[in-house]
Amino acid sequence: MVRFLTRTRGHAAWDWTDWAAHLYLVLGVLVMFGPVLWLGMSSLKSESGIQAFPPTFLPYEQVSVDVEGRGKLKLYRVTAGEFAGRELGEVRRMGLQVQLVDPAAPATLIRVAVGDREPVMHLRAAWDNFTGLFSQFPFFRYLWNSVFITAVATVLTLLVNSMAAFALSKYRFAGRDPVFLLMLATLMIPPTIVLVPNYLIASQLGLTNSPWGVIWPAVATPTGVFLLRQYMLTLPDELIEAARMDNASEWRIYWRIVLPLSAPALAVLAIFSVMWRWNEFLWPMVVLSRSESFTLPLALNAFQGELTTQWNYLLAMTVVTLLPVTVIFAFLQKHITQGIASAGVK
């Protein structure tokens, strides 16, 4: 136990602490990622697959057959009795018996006890859970709202915060340091504290039920200003003076010199901003009350109350919501973790 705590990068052969560490991590992955995987698998199940209990891991679905004169029938395998081993379509259930029919000979009905037959399953991903989102719900609307808010808020966040960071890192003016401290102080005022008055302000500005109601309050972030300012401080002042000598206006210096050179910090902030806006819940819930202005998280929350029976759509919608973040993470994992570790924020 003791050695387990302190060993860092030994080169010796594996001892029990190495086994314990790896075991812990494998279990950890099971707990951390297993639920997400389970969600993904579940979202591919048909409605009946979802209701099956005990559930299967893979998306199985009962095979259907087209039977002449009787339409689509579910296929069962008879397990006992005279017809054991045959695969038959079920016509109807009558008390403790079912009427089955051989797809090859649709004229004759066969009666079997309910317990003597089991469904014939095959693997099939129910993609219609996803396509159904678009045809059966105003899902495209929610998706668009989320994308619009995320994209616009991120662009504005980068612009507004980098402008402030530029002034705070590259200008000397009376009141600069108080302004910076004031901005940092807003870190202490989480949105939950100002929920009620912000709702008043948003409604007075006519921002309720509008994507701008989510975008504007999010545009100025102390984290973003801090992150960008610290980065811009490392850019040599001589570059800016050179640009000044090159007859560049201050605005041009900002966007042609400082902005491109701050790309790494801007990228970190962009990732943060996308995550914040895409995932945001409480404030949008307060400011967006009409369903056509809902973002994906709001729509999810609304449906989980209404559609308890339609888990297949709810799960598909959940997957769509986590997909963009997952894809970004898969590609930018290193940058995200490094950015977060160095900034100490999320």
Partner 1 sequence: MKLLAALFAFLMNLPERPMRWAQGRLAGGRLGWVFVAPNLAVFAVFTFLPIAIDFHYALSGGTNLLPAERPFVGGENFATLLDCVDHFDPNTCRRDLFWHGVWNTMRFVGFQVGLMLGFSLLTAIVLNRKIIGRGFFRAMFFYPVLLSPVVVGLIWKWILQREGVLNAGMMGVGAAPVNWLLDANWAFFWSVFVSIWAHMGFYTLILLAGLQAIPAEINEAAAMDATPPWRHFRRITWPLMLPSVLVVLVLGLIRAVQMFDEIYVLTGGGPGTATTFIVQYIYKTGFADQVRQYGLAAAASLLLAGVLLVLTMIQLRGMRRG
Partner 2 sequence: MGGLSLRNVTKSFGPTKVIHGVSFDIADGGFTVFVGPSGCGKSTLLRMICGLESVTTGDVAIDGVVVNDIPAARRGLAMVFQSYALYPHMTVYQNMAFGLENLGTSAAEIARRVGEAARMLKLEDYLQRKPTALSGGQRQRVAIGRAIVREPKIFLFDEPLSNLDAELRVGMRAELTALHRRLKTTMIYVTHDQVEAMTMADTIVVLRAGRVEQVGAPLDLYNNPANAFVAGFIGSPRMNLLPGTIASVAGGVVSVGLLGVGVFATEALAAGHEVGAEVTLGIRPEHITTTDDEGPGTLGGVIAGVEQLGGLSYVRLESPDMTVQIAGQTNLGFGAAARLRLPAAAIHVFDKSGAALARGDQA
Kindly identify the residues of this chain, within the stretch 237-296, that bind partner 2 according to CB under 8 A: 238-239, 241-249, 252, 256-257, 260-261
Residue span binding partner 2 (CB under 8 A) among the ranges 83-91, 137-145, 197-205, 236-244: 236-244
Closest C-alpha among 111, 83, 114 to residue 96: 114
Q: Which does 164 bind (CB under 5 to 8 A by kind): partner 1, partner 2, none?
A: partner 1
Q: Which does 261 bind (CB under 5 to 8 A by kind): partner 1, partner 2, none?
A: partner 2
Nearer Cβ to partner 2 (86/244): 244
**Which parts of 244-263 interact with partner 1 (CB under 8 A)?**
249-252, 254-255
Secondary-structure percent of the chain, ordered helix, strand, coil, rounded to 5: 65, 15, 25
Q: Which does 242 bind (CB under 5 to 8 A by kind): partner 2, partner 1, none?
A: partner 2
DSSP β-bridge partners for residue 89? 75, 101
53 interacts with partner 1 by CB under 8 A = yes
DSSP β-bridge partners for residue 109? 101
Furthest-apart CA atoms within the chain: distance in Å: 98
Burial of 54 (0-12, 13-18, 19+ CB in 10 A): exposed
Q: Which does 6 bind (CB under 5 to 8 A by kind): partner 2, partner 1, none?
A: partner 1
Nearer Cβ to partner 2 (262/318): 262
Nearer Cβ to partner 2 (68/241): 241
Distance CA 219, CA 222 (A): 10
- Rounded to a whole number of angstroms, the minimum distance from the CB of residue 29 to partner 1 is 5
Nearer Cβ to partner 2 (195/242): 242
Under rule CB under 8 A, how many of the chain's residues touch partner 1? 103
- Rounded to a whole number of angstroms, the minimum distance from the CB of residue 200 to partner 2 is 45
Closest C-alpha among 214, 192, 220, 217 to residue 293: 214
293 interacts with partner 1 by CB under 8 A = no
DSSP-derived secondary structure for 192-206: TTTHHHHHHHHHHTT
Q: Which does 236 bind (CB under 5 to 8 A by kind): partner 2, partner 1, none?
A: partner 2
Q: Per-residue x/- marks for partner 1, 8-47, CB under 8 A?
A: xxxx-----xx--xx-xx--xx-xxx-xx-xx--x-----
Distance CA 37, CA 40 (A): 5
Nearer Cβ to partner 1 (83/311): 311
Nearer Cβ to partner 2 (95/260): 260
DSSP-derived secondary structure for 220-275: --HHHHHHHHHHHHTS-HHHHHHHHHTT--HHHIIIIIIHHHTHHHHHHHHHHHHH
HSE toward the beta carbon, residue 166, CA cutoff 13 A: 21
Q: Which does 199 bind (CB under 5 to 8 A by kind): partner 2, partner 1, none?
A: partner 1
Structure-token match 């995932």, residue found: 279
Torsion of CA 297, 300, 302, 308, to 10 degrees: -160
Binding site for partner 2 (CB under 8 A): 236, 238-239, 241-249, 252, 256-257, 260-261
